[in-house]
Amino acid sequence: MATKTNEFITKLEDCESTGWADLSARAKQLYKDKCRELIETGELRRIYLPTLISWAHHYARGLKLAKEVEAEGDTFTIFNRNGDEVICANPKVKMMNDAFKMADKLLLGFGSTVEKARRLGKQEPKKKTALEEFKERHGKR
């Protein structure tokens, strides 16, 4: 039986997709966690899997680079031909930021931000307490 790309996925075992085997161990765990989260909310479709694999790859890469930057520092010092000290930016900072930006862009399609989730109707509006409603009706005193 052929699977439809737009079908909902209800079991984590059905989440393996092209590119899965190439993910690092950390990326595989991030991918599984995000799939589990989307299954629980009833939002995971087969067509989303390649995007989630790409997201997991970029996010895991950003986390790895963040750890390296933390150990190495944001900058390093070199000496030019004249013997002058020059402070240079660690190129891994840009690589890390680029990886996180790409991961964020990919995840935006799933309503991952509060603003996006509200627009998609995934988040229930916060209910006001009786005290808050009373203060609104009668004004703060």
Segment 20-56, tens digit of pLDDT: 999 999 999 999 999 999 999 888 999 999 999 999 9
Structural domain contains residue 28: yes
Structural domain contains residue 90: no
- Return the biggest CA–CA distance within the chain: 74
Instruction: Assign 1 a pLDDT band (cuts: 50, 70, 90).
Output: very low
Structural domain contains residue 65: yes
The answer to whether the pTM exceeds 0.75 is: no
Structural domain contains residue 84: no
3-state secondary structure of 85: strand
Q: Which domain holds residue 66?
A: 12-71+100-138
> Into how many domains does the chain fold?
1
The model's pLDDT over 89-140, given as tens digits with 9 standing for 90+, comes to: 999 999 999 999 999 999 887 765 545 545 544 444 456 777 677 667 776 5
Strands (E) across the chain are located at 75-79, 85-89
